[in-house]
Amino acid sequence: MATEPKQVSGEELDHDLAELLEIERFEPPAEFRERALLNDPAVYEEAARDPRAWWAKQAAELDWFEPWDTVLDDSEAPFYKWFTGGKLNVSYNCLDRHVLAGRGERVAYHWRGEEGQERDITYAELLAEVKRFASALKDQGVKKGDVVGIYLPMIPEVVVAMLACARIGAPHNVVFGGFSAEAVRERMEFSEAKALITVDGAARKGKTAPVKERVDEVMGDLATLQKIIVVRSKDVPCEMRAGRDVYYDEICAAADPECEAEPLDAEHPLYILYTSGSTAKPKGILHTTGGYLTGVSATHRYVFDLKPESDVYWCAADVGWVTGHSYIVYGPLANGATSVMWEGAPDYPNRGIWWEIVEHYGVTILYCAPTAIRACIKWGADWPNGHDLSSLRLLGTVGEPINPKAWLWYHKVIGSEQCPIVDTWWQTETGAIMITPLPGITATKPGSATQPFPGVAAQVLAESSGEPLEEGQGLLVLNGPWPSMLRTLYKEPERYIETYFKRFGSETYLVGDAARRDKDGYFWVIGRIDDVVNVSGHRLSTAEVESAIVAHPDVAEAAVIGQHDEDTGQAIVAFVTLQGDLEGDEHTVEGIRATVAERIGKFARPKRMIWTDDLPKTRSGKIMRRLLRDIAEGRALGDVTTLRDPAVMSQLEDRVKEMQAQED
């Protein structure tokens, strides 16, 4: 049954936007509120009165092999421990307990391949595969505590691999498939991974990328890496190094189909996920077992109002980012949800593929990034309007602030004005959603993530004094520990303290975002305060990109900033000084972009490159990125008197103007 197409033109949208900004608040629809799992605001008071008791209640929803003795051990703060003494297993909670309770026939994932292939995987099937692969990992010499790298595309085996690691207590280190092999190597080296699970080839919009071949080019001499396990997904011939490389299907076929879930301490490491910080070296965020699963399952249940018997839930992220870890894999499986998993891009085989998938599987809950919504706006409402989206009842966003126009389009064109929108703010470090509406309780305001989740406390502190602000803009902090928080930076405990707890002490987690609170106490997250840029919801450090650019032989020096971008939220702009008298041309631009793609990944390539004879530096030689940002955004320049050579700025201003004129 097709719904009436609702065409929305750009002009209409602008008109509606003006009205929308006057409405200001959107109450949950009465019908939604009535049926919601949580619809009484008293839940916030209950949690605030005794956060430990509230979190213990959430933890009790999981199956524990042994109960905990202490909810929170803060004796070594900020190295917090949750549910100490307790033992559990994440894969048991995600699979076995559902199968034991008779829910084995429920679909865990409706998997859909790029070319339309379909595979429904039930909980019972997933459990059987996970057990086999867990046995196979053991056969390959992987033991509890060994780090296992995972570099896989969006195929079911990525979930199997993660859960098999969790089953035997081997922390995984997943690297997003869009990262280059060199970036994978670096992450394997930092974490001293013993094995890497990868694939012969990956589907990329109708083409096949030869993944194993690329991995071989860089991984050869990494002594710590003893095994490479290759999933045969796309029939790409691979060179297999004897003694090191094995095929996934072959080791699974030879493995014991039984593998009991290992009872693990609540604080046993579940995974490391590298993310960008202020320096070129990525930070290894470490998450553990009991607290993490408590946080992701509770937030997944309540933020998405999950009814596992009837909902079809789709988080359209990639498993390689934290959103995928928490809300494609661990949260949904712990809650026994039926999810959709889509292998490909939002515009292949055509720009309507997302909406075709929603219609086909009857998706009820959709969770995606504002960047994707902006792309859909550009492609036009005809694509979604060509499909029946009436199954949808709740929409979510994550990864970056959502601009009101995108919010409105999501609300009208996708949600037919019937679906609450949950704008969820959180980070790799927080493990789970921290600031978010509860869809049956909270009145939303487009662009605001609204209020901390029950049991979470947040504040905005004045930049100068560090005093909490009732209203106004400053630094976002989270007060006190929460169960799914990172435990440390892997192998860098000093950096953990320095980055998050040095400024305000071990009770106050410094987020790294600027935020505003309005007269109603709502939180509006503005963006990063450090040298981290957010391109299409992908987190990148300017230092990381700079160091990739200077690896190009023609480059002497580079400074990178994030510039506001209508499509991607932020775009990377690089100011580059070449060696000697070299002149930059198209060829150099392509060369530098290729170097960045090779070192980090295609998504990190600069959108604009501006040649300059020098960069604005202080007398002590520090690059003043603030001035570069001012120039790029066309703002009046701030104080330039501290510059070593103020003349640099006028040359740069001219160059930026030239470039903008060319683009127009």
Interface contacts to ligand WTA, rule CB under 6 A = 275, 321-323, 398-401, 423-428, 449, 512-513, 525, 527-528, 534, 539
User: Which residue lies nearer to ligand WTA by CB, 84 or 278?
Assistant: 278
No. of helices (H) and no. of strands (E), the chain:
23, 30
The Cα 343–Cα 155 span in angstroms is: 6
Q: And the tokens for 139?
A: 């056969």
CB of 547 to ligand WTA, least distance (A): 20
User: Which residue lies nearer to ligand WTA by CB, 322 or 600?
Assistant: 322
Q: And the tokens for 481?
A: 């520990």
User: Which residue lies nearer to ligand WTA by CB, 305 or 423?
Assistant: 423
Residue whose Cβ sits closest to ligand WTA: 428
User: Which residue lies nearer to ligand WTA by CB, 187 or 528?
Assistant: 528
CB of 536 to ligand WTA, least distance (A): 11
DSSP string, 43-110: HHHHHHH-HHHHHHHHHTTS--SB--SEEEE-TTTTS-EEEET-EE-HHIIIIIHHIIIIITTSEEEE
Q: Is 553 exposed, middle or buried (0-12, 13-18, 19+ CB in 10 A)?
A: exposed
User: Which residue lies nearer to ligand WTA by CB, 299 or 424?
Assistant: 424
CB of 446 to ligand WTA, least distance (A): 12
Residue 274: CA atoms inside 13 Å, Cβ hemisphere, count?
A: 27
Q: And the tokens for 205?
A: 């919009």
The Cα 417–Cα 399 span in angstroms is: 23
CA distances from 151 to 116, 273, 399, 467, 646 (A): 23, 12, 22, 44, 47
CB of 212 to ligand WTA, least distance (A): 27
Contact by Cβ (8 Å): 548, 595: yes
User: Which residue lies nearer to ligand WTA by CB, 369 or 559?
Assistant: 369
Q: And the tokens for 581?
A: 């008298």
User: Which residue lies nearer to ligand WTA by CB, 167 or 374?
Assistant: 374
Helix (H, G, I), strand (E, B) or coil at 282: coil
Q: Tell me which residue of 127, 188, 163 sits closest to 328, measured CA to CA.
A: 163
CB of 397 to ligand WTA, least distance (A): 6
The Cα 378–Cα 394 span in angstroms is: 23
User: Which residue lies nearer to ligand WTA by CB, 111 or 524?
Assistant: 524
CB of 497 to ligand WTA, least distance (A): 19
Read off the amino acid at residue 295.
Answer: G
User: Which residue lies nearer to ligand WTA by CB, 64 or 407?
Assistant: 407
Q: And the tokens for 593?
A: 């972009």
User: Which residue lies nearer to ligand WTA by CB, 136 or 270?
Assistant: 270
Contact by Cβ (8 Å): 330, 293: yes
Q: And the tokens for 229?
A: 């396990």
Q: β-strands 338-342, 312-315: how paired?
A: parallel
CB of 500 to ligand WTA, least distance (A): 12
| Residues 580-583: contacts with CB under 8 Å, at least 24 apart | 580/556, 582/554, 583/611
Q: Bridge-partner residues for 562, per DSSP?
A: 572
CB of 403 to ligand WTA, least distance (A): 11
User: Which residue lies nearer to ligand WTA by CB, 104 or 332?
Assistant: 332
CB of 655 to ligand WTA, least distance (A): 29
Measured in degrees and rounded to the nearest 5, phi and psi for residue 525 equal -80, 130
Residue 286's H or E segment, with its range, is: strand 283-288
Residue 223's H or E segment, with its range, is: none
Beta strands in 449-499, from DSSP E residues, in sequence order: 458-461, 472-479, 488-489
The Cα 338–Cα 98 span in angstroms is: 12
The Cα 443–Cα 522 span in angstroms is: 10
The Cα 204–Cα 208 span in angstroms is: 6
Helix (H, G, I), strand (E, B) or coil at 320: coil
Read off the amino acid at residue 486.
Answer: L
Residue 465's H or E segment, with its range, is: none
CB of 562 to ligand WTA, least distance (A): 11
User: Which residue lies nearer to ligand WTA by CB, 135 or 427?
Assistant: 427
CB of 318 to ligand WTA, least distance (A): 11
CB of 538 to ligand WTA, least distance (A): 7
User: Which residue lies nearer to ligand WTA by CB, 251 or 510?
Assistant: 510
User: Which residue lies nearer to ligand WTA by CB, 182 or 429?
Assistant: 429
User: Which residue lies nearer to ligand WTA by CB, 424 or 451?
Assistant: 424
Contact by Cβ (8 Å): 411, 417: yes
User: Which residue lies nearer to ligand WTA by CB, 186 or 513?
Assistant: 513
CB of 504 to ligand WTA, least distance (A): 17
Q: Tell me which residue of 305, 266, 300, 272 sits closest to 286, measured CA to CA.
A: 272
CB of 28 to ligand WTA, least distance (A): 18
CB of 258 to ligand WTA, least distance (A): 36
CB of 96 to ligand WTA, least distance (A): 28
Distance in Å from the first CA to the final CA of the chain = 44
Q: And the tokens for 414?
A: 């996708």
